[in-house]
Structure formats: structure tokens, C-alpha cells
Amino acid sequence: MNPINQNNKYVFDIEVTALVKRFKEVVAVNGVTFKVNSGEIFGLLGPNGAGKTTTIKMLTTLIEPTSGKAKVANYDIGKDKSNVRKSIGIVFQDPSLDDKLTGRENLVFHGMLYNLESKVMSKRISEVLKLVELEDKADILVENYSGGMKRRLEIARGLMHQPKVIFLDEPTVGLDPQTRRKIWDYIIELNKKHKTTIILTTHYIEEADFLCSRVAFVDHGRIVALDTPEKLKNKMGGDIISLKVDFPINKNIFSKVKWIKNVKSLNDTLELTVDDGEKKILDVLDVAKKNGIKIHSVNLRKPSLEDVFIKITGKGIREEAGSFKDRMRMIHGRMR
Amino acid sequence: MIEFKAIYVIWLREIKRFIRAKSRVIGMIVVPLLFLIGLGYGFNNLVHLNGSFNYFDFLVPGIVGMSLLFTSVNNGASVIWDKQFGFLKEIMVTPNSRVSIALGKIIGGASTALIQGVLVVIIGVLLGFTLNFTAITLLFIVFMLLIAITFISLGLAIGSFMSDFQGFGIVMQFVAFPLFFISGALVPASTLPSVLKYVAYLNPLTYGVDGLRATLLGTSSFGIGLDLTAMLISSIIMVFVCAWAFTKGNAT
């Protein structure tokens, strides 16, 4: 039996309505509503503890919602768990390998739990091992793997049974940039080739920006914005030119110029929001020269999703607590 | 619904882990060995039992039972480890019924417990246990299996509701040790003080050990029929309790 759902008539692969999860006093997910189109790469972006993983756990039937409804691949996550499970694959945020088994044995275990035929299984196993470049390490025990190798094996495993919908919970945490890039390419290929719907959580801005057709910002258990990365970035209203100058300075010199949309001062830097930053940078220098302002350095940047996130929530995505948790996860991964 | 492929692969995993954890196997043989030498040899000349056997002979089936009890509770409660290392999530998110998953764990754990039980019997024989080999002797395998199933199910049921390592120690101290001491493994259950005696009569291990004595030694307090019936009933009840607990317990 193929776990891929053939009944592909519905438009949305995930429909979430007012989903809530409460742990005693803590409200982890506070009324989340969104839809994911079939064949889409959808991102949940937010700091650690925002409720992304809890949302994923509910959608993958691992925990029960406190209230609200959700459908995955058109199956209700409460009433039709078995069919939801048949339709999905997941790469967990935390380690989930048996390190007393070899890499290959972990994959065989997975394949058999998904009832793959042995021919299909051995083909898929060699495919995914090749993808994550673990072919020559496949037959050593996972306890001898590095953190990055374990992560790659988990990703290989999650892709192995080619599900209709794949959940990737922080798929590239702790990976080196090269491997990360390779995983991204594969996620895109998987999405294009098999029309797999992918929902990923991340706190890496570039990841969401590069991969996702739409991104939901998650903060304190709520979705605070949801749109394509382009449209989200357009909310910033232009590019940012930052100038290192000697303070004090009269901000009005810049804010009275009509093509400069916004002026912000941060420490020794002025941040000007403009359209067409590449062209306007010269005009900005002109304005400064005319007013006798000495400029030490100039920097032009396109707004990132992080800028938008800060604008909406008033804080960054990678708070200190997040990176600490990452480190703990890596240490934990090594200790196993 | 029962998925045999899932049961098979979960069983296979338990076997592979068992074979690879050599230190654990050695550890679980050393403890019964020490009990047999320390207690068995030590008390052999002090304790005189009615019958054609000495205390050492009496003790060997008890220590086999002890070894099965601890290994089984340990195997069942290893689900806490699976949780801690996140591996249980990987199993629970697959489209297999919770009952199949629990059965795979039970059968896998029972297989490895059985191997250890046989090893302890062999050690007993090497140390001087007089095995009266008759037609019913081989039934000791059945008793070992039923003891294992009962207590793996117990360990798994308790482990289903726990999520940290500390919980594991508590299981061993407050569940496995009392079950061992109040079971007739070390002294005949009938010689225990009255209250403990009745507790022992409610303990499946009492019948398991008595059944092992009936098969290995050729003597028993309750008779092999009662022992077998009691162990069958306790196994069936515990498998159902375990399946229920596993379905209700927390996977993450």
C-alpha cells in the first residue's frame, strides 16, 4: 500500500481553525487559524517558544488540541488519526533516532513501520542515503555519528516514504551552511517533483525567505502576519540605507526630503527608508554633503523578514534564549 | 487492528539492542550469580527444608524468577528511554495501532528476558543445581514466558505515564523490589507472616516461581495446574492493562 493519498481533489492540504493548546497555566498555542494549499511550501517563522512545534505536534496527532479544529490531507486530526498518519511524514525538531542501530537499520525500521515493500524500500533507502551523503556511513551505529550526520539521517528518514504532506520542524538546526543549502535544494525538488506539500517551522530568516511560498509569523501562540515573503517585505515600504555619522545630528535634514520615507537613528547610525535604494544612495550622499554632514560609511540593504518581524512584534526572531536552546540541543545530541 | 510487520520490526529492534548491549547482559547475569553464591551457598547448611532437596535447589528457581522480574520490568520501562531520546515519537507518528506497538515491545522484551532466564538456569546447573529432567520440565519455558509477559506489560504500563529517568528508579524501588521479596522466591510463601502471606498470594510472581519449581525441581506448593492458570490469567490481564495504558499515556 502506498501511503501517498491518491484522492487529490481538495485544494487545501492543511486547514487549521482556532487551534488552542494549553498546558496547565501556559497557553502554548492561542487560537491559530491558517490554510496551506496543496503543493505549497508553507513556513511558520518565529522565535523559540512561540508555539510552532506545539502546532506541529497537534497536526501530526502526537498531542490532542485543547480546542479548535484541524484537517490534514482532508482528514480530521481528532477523528481520523490513522489516515492523517498515513498521509504525513515528519522530521522532528529534537533527536529521534535509535543510536544503537546503524543508519540503515533506522531507515529499514521506518520503512517497515510504513509498510513499504522490500524492493521499494531498498530503492528509497539508497536514494535518500545518497541525497544526504551518508552512503558510506550507513552501516555504522548512529551513536558514532556527528550531530550533523544524525540530522541528515533524520531528514532522509522523513522523506523516505514520500508522504503527501511533510512537516519539517526546524529541519536545518545545527547543520553547516553547505549541508543546509543541499537540504534546501532537496526540499524544493521534492516539492516540485512529487507535488509534496511542505510545512516547515524555522527561526532562520533566510530559510523561510528562500524556501517558502508563504510565511506565517508566529509569536506568543498567535499568527501575527501571513503572506508571501515578498509582500511581507513590502510592508517595510522600501530599502534601508544606513549611514554612520557623527552625532549629534539634525534628523530633519533628512526627514524633510520628500523621497525619504522614514528616518530612524540607532546608536551612531541613521537608517533611511527609500525606494530604489541603489539609485537613491547617491542622492542621499548629495544631501549630506550639502548640509556638511560627514559620513564615515554607507550601507544599503533590502529589508529582510527579520526587519518585518521586528516591526510587527517589536522584537527579533533569534532571541538569546533561542540560541541557548540550540546549543543545549546540540550537546544533548552529542551525549546520546 | 494488528499490524504484524510493525510487531516484527519492533521485536527485531529489541533483539538487536539486546545483542549489542553486552555489558547489560553481563550485569544481569552477575547479580543472579552473586545471589546464588552468597545466599544459596551461604544458607544451604543453615536451612533445612522438608523434601529431597536442599536450600540451594530451592533457591535456583526463585533466582530465575527474580532475574526474569527485574529484566522484564526493566525492558517494559525502557519505553521511558525511548521517550527521552525521542524515538517513541518516531514510532507513534506512524500509521500503526498503539496495540501493535505495545505488542511488539512486549514480545521483543519477552524474547530477551527468556534468553536471560535460560542463562540463569544454566548457571544454576553449573553451580550444582540438581535438575530432575522429566517430560514436564520443558514447561519451564512457558512459565518463564508468562512471567516475562506479565512484568514487561507492568513496566510498559507504568512507563507509559512517566517521562523522565527519575521515574525509572522509582519503578524499580517501589514496584520490582516488593514484588521480588513478597513472592516466595527466597523463602516459601507459606512461611511468611500472615499479612505478607496474603499479599504474596496476590502476586503473580509467587505462582510463576512456584511453577518454575514444579518444572525444574519437581515440587511445588500450589500444583502446576494452579500455577499455570494463575500465570495465564495475570498475563492476559496485564497485556490488556498495558495496551490501555500505552494508548492513554503520553508519547512525548
Residue A294: predicted pLDDT: 84
pLDDT-derived band at A323, boundaries 50, 70, 90: very low
What the block records as the C-alpha cell of A132 is 544526504
Q: Tell me how far apart the alpha carbons of residues A102 and B110 are, in angstroms, rounded to a whole number.
A: 23
C-alpha cell at A301: 540593504
Topology of the domain covering A237-302: Alpha-Beta Plaits (3.30.70)
Q: Please check whether residue A61 touches B, CB under 8 A.
A: yes
Q: Which residue has the higher pLDDT, A276 or A76?
A: A76
| ipTM for the predicted complex | 0.87
Helix, strand, coil in percent for chain A, rounding step 5: 40, 25, 35
Architecture of domain A12-233: 3-Layer(aba) Sandwich (3.40)
pLDDT band of A183, cuts 50, 70, 90: confident
Contacts of B94 in chain A (CB under 8 A): 85, 110, 113-114
Strands (E), B26-174: none
In chain A, the percentage of residues whose pLDDT exceeds 70 is 91
Dump strand ranges (E) for A159-288: 165-169, 197-202, 214-219, 222-227, 239-245, 262-266, 269-274
Q: Which residues of A touch B9 (CB under 8 A)?
A: 108-109, 112-113
Q: Is A59 on the interface with B (CB under 8 A)?
A: no
Matching residue, cell 496474603: B198
pLDDT at A334: 42
pLDDT per residue as tens digits for the range B114-124: 999 999 999 99
Q: Total domain count for chain B?
A: 1
* Nine-digit cell string for A264: 530612524
Interchain contact B93–A (C-beta under 8 A):
yes
Confidence of residue A9 (pLDDT cuts 50, 70, 90): low
pLDDT of residue B252: 61
Cα–Cα distance list, B155 to A102, B80, B129 (Å): 27, 10, 30
C-beta of residue A5 within 8 angstroms of C-beta of residue A162: no
B13 closest CB neighbour out of A62, A99, A109: A109
CA A60 to chain B, closest CA, distance in angstroms equals: 7
Lowest mean pLDDT among A2-6, B10-14, B149-153: A2-6
Contact A86 B21 (CB under 8 A): no
Closest-CA residue of chain A to B10: A109
A202 closest CA partner among A309, A66, A121:
A309
Mean pLDDT of A202-227: 93
Query: Do the beta carbons of residue A84 and residue B75 sit within 8 Å?
Result: no
Sign of CA dihedral A88, A89, A90, A95: positive
Q: Which residues lie across from A102 on neighbouring strands?
A: A141
Going by pLDDT thresholds of 50, 70 and 90, the confidence category of residue A10 is: low
Q: What is the pLDDT of residues B179-219, one digit of tens each?
A: 999 998 998 888 888 899 999 999 999 999 999 999 999 88
Per the CB < 8 A criterion, the answer to whether B25 and B45 are in contact is no
Tell me whether A335 touches chain B (CB under 8 Å).
no
Stated as kind and residue range, the H or E segment containing A43 is strand A41-45
pLDDT digits (tens, 9 = 90+) for B86-108: 899 999 999 999 999 999 999 99
Q: What is the mean pLDDT of residues B162-178?
A: 83
| Contact state of B93 with A98 under an 8 Å Cβ cutoff | no
Q: Say yes or no: A109 contacts chain B, CB-CB below 8 A.
A: yes
Mean pLDDT on B77-90: 89
Half-sphere exposure of B149 (CA within 13 A, CB side): 21
Contact B20 A3 (CB under 8 A): no
* Nearest residue to B252 via CA among B105, B102, B87: B87
Closest Cα of chain B to A57: distance in Å? 9
Contact by Cβ (8 Å): A336, A98: no
pLDDT at A2 over 50: no
The 10s digit of each residue's pLDDT in A201-212 is 998 888 999 999
Give B21's contacts in chain A (Cβ within 8 Å): 100
Residues 6+ apart with CB under 8 A from A213: A40, A41, A42, A228
Burial class (CB in 10 A: 0-12, 13-18, 19+), B110: buried
- The beta-strand segments (E) located in A171-261 are 197-202, 214-219, 222-227, 239-245
**Given this model, what pLDDT does residue A320 score?**
41
pLDDT at residue A45, rounded to an integer:
93
φ/ψ (deg, to 5) at A27: -100, 105
pLDDT category at A318 given cuts 50, 70, 90 is low
Q: Which of A21, A112, A159 to mutate to test the interface with B (most CBs of B within 10 A)?
A: A112
CA angle A263, A268, A272 (to 5 degrees): 20
First to last CA, chain A: 35
Q: Which residue has the higher pLDDT, A11 or A121?
A: A121
Q: Is A73 exposed, middle or buried (0-12, 13-18, 19+ CB in 10 A)?
A: buried
- Residues B50-70, mean pLDDT to the nearest whole number: 90
Which residues are paired to A166 by β-bridges?
A89, A198
* pLDDT band (50, 70, 90) for residue B251: low
Q: Is the pLDDT of residue B237 over 60?
A: yes
Residue contact A85–B252, C-beta within 8 A: no
- Stronger pLDDT, B109 or B23, i.e. the higher one: B109
Average pLDDT, chain A: 86
Least confident among A28-37, A125-134, A246-255? A246-255
Phi, psi angles (nearest 5°) of residue B194:
-50, -50
pLDDT tens string B13-50: 999 999 888 787 787 789 999 999 999 988 888 887 77
pLDDT value for A258: 84
| Three-state secondary structure string covering A103-166 | HHHHHHHHHHHCCCCHHHHHHHHHHHHHHCCCHHHCCCEHHHCCHHHHHHHHHHHHHHCCCCEE
B contact test, residue of A5, A85, A87, A100 with most B CBs within 10 A? A100
Percent of chain B with pLDDT over 90: 62
Q: Establish if A96 touches chain B: CB-CB under 8 angstroms.
A: yes
Q: Is B20 on the interface with A (CB under 8 A)?
A: yes
Virtual torsion, Cα B237, B238, B244, B248, nearest 10 deg? 150
A268 pLDDT tier (thresholds 50, 70, 90)? confident
Element (H, E) at A11: none
State the residue range of the domain holding B183. 4-248
Query: pLDDT digits over A89-105, tens only?
Result: 999 988 899 999 999 99
Nearest CA in chain A to B1: A82
* Contact assessment for residue B214 and residue B51, using Cβ atoms and an 8 Å cutoff: no
- Out of A83, A100, A113, closest to residue B91 by CB: A113
Chain B interface disruption, residue of A5, A24, A96, A97, most B CBs within 10 A? A96
Mean pLDDT across the stretch B239-248?
Answer: 91
Beta bridge partners of A225: A217
The mean pLDDT of chain B is 90
Does B9 contact A at CB distance below 8 Å? Answer: yes
* Interface contact B89, partner A, CB < 8 A: yes
Asked whether A336 and A95 are in contact (CB, 8 A), the reply is yes
Cell of B153: 506489560
pLDDT at A4 over 60: no
